[in-house]
Chains A and B, each alone.
Chain A
Amino acid sequence: MTTLTLKVNGSAQTLDVEDRTLLVDLLRDRLGLTGTHVGCDTSQCGCCTVHLDGIAVKSCTLLALQAEGAEVVTIEGLAPESGLHPVQEAFSTCHGLQCGYCTPGMIMATTDLLARHPDPTDEQIRDGLAGNLCRCTGYINIEAAVRAAAAAMRRAD
């Protein structure tokens, strides 16, 4: 066991963790943040995407201890006090989901993508979401949601 200190969704955490604990298991099992999903558990599907110091990473392929001192944001930490984050809003409005299992990862990947490319081209959207799989094959509406969110966030700026 090793003592880990990190921030999750703005709140400071100090926990004793087994060295082999994955970040995703820490979030889900220890902190109860079950919005971050485990899809493939082999770093392909992107369901487990969270932000580590503002950057989208796959939390199933990261040891919790690698996040020592870092700031982690999960889907639960994205929305403001009331209402939804513009990316959440756009996924809802554009119906960028069917079963919803991949959605938290898609949204976390999208917010990183839009931070890099506030007005993304179609190619940038596809490349930015290349690490996230939707098995309902809902990519058309997901891409529409990303474009809508980008527009809404540019308007808000």
Chain B
Amino acid sequence: MYPFTYHRPRSLPDALARLAADPDAKLLAGGMTLIPSMKHRLAAPSQLIDIARLPELQGIARAGQSLTVGAASRYDEIARHPLVAECLPALAQVADAIGDPQVRSRGTIGGSIANSDPAADFPAAVLALAAVIRTDRREIAADEYFQGMFTTALAPDEVICEIRFAIPRRAAYAKFHHPASGYAMAGVFVADFGETVRVGVTGAAPAVFRWHEAEAALTRRLAPEALQGLALSPDGLNADMHAPASYRAQLAAVMLRKAVARIQERTGA
């Protein structure tokens, strides 16, 4: 790694001031992506501002029909939190599908969606659950938040404080892991809000996206039969050494059906 300085501010305002003063500074939370990127010299920040312990970014709480998750919540904390198990078990399922135990003990949900890796898992849940991303200065709807590969609506000096999820009637996530890296080759999150069904797809395209045709079909009837003949167009999907676009389209279609089947198993519907 190139040299840098490390700072651990005591409060969010301190972190914001430091971040605003240096365009080459980067925020550090779990570091599960940033530190490997720095070791590969793909990133060379002048300073790291460690926000993992900021009190403003902690905690998981329920308020009415929403669940708020502090940005510094670690994957493992989300996977095992009793409130998540009670009102949004599919989110625990997403957290549990990430990386390995050591990675889940460090990685944070805020880091995952700030980085917005095309193969990250949480973006699928954030988008399908119509989450609201609360930052130090505003609230951003998930539909406006994800803008492209590693690109979000965040300003360079903006900090995510918490993610507020709408609690669905039921939901599930199905993911096809890359056998070596564990990243999603395709991951599909289905959320049933009664009136509407939302479907988020990660891993298949340059950025997470909603699969509108699947949403329309599942809104009419949330059952595998409703998806007969439904396919995802490979246009614009990722094609790389791991899989061509047509293969990812097929994987996404299979993961969609698995997620729907999982919802049915859970509810006995």
Contact = CB atoms under 8 A, between A and B. Distances in A.
A56 B3 contact: no
Interface residues of B toward A: which range? 20 to 34
Most buried by B among A46, A61, A113: A61
Most buried by B among A68, A127, A128, A131: A131
A56 B6 CA distance: 23
Contacts of B50: 65-66
B156 interface: no
Contacts, number: 70
A112 B4 contact: no
B225 interface: no
B228 interface: no
A19 B76 CA distance: 27
B106 interface: yes
B99 interface: yes
Interface in A120-134: 127-128, 130-132
A20 B3 contact: yes
A58 B100 CA distance: 10
Interface stretch (B29-37, B141-149, B188-196, B236-244): B29-37
B140 interface: no
A131 B100 contact: yes
A128 B35 contact: no
Contacts of B4: 19-20
Contacts of B31: 61-63, 66
Interface string A8-48: 00000000001110000000000000000000011100100
Nearest to B3: A20
Given A42-B36, A43-B32, A68-B8, A58 B3 contact: no
A112 B6 contact: no
B102 to A, nearest CB: 5
A55 B52 CA distance: 16
Nearest to B80: A116
Nearest to A131: B100
Nearest to B99: A131
Interface in A47-69: 49, 55-58, 61-63, 65-66, 68
A43 to B, nearest CB: 6
Interface in B1-45: 1-6, 8, 28, 31-32, 35-36, 39
Contacts of A128: 101
8 contacts: A20-B1, A58-B102, A58-B103, A61-B35, A63-B6, A65-B6, A66-B52, A130-B100
Interface of B: 1-6, 8, 28, 31-32, 35-36, 39, 48, 50, 52, 76, 99-103, 105-106, 182
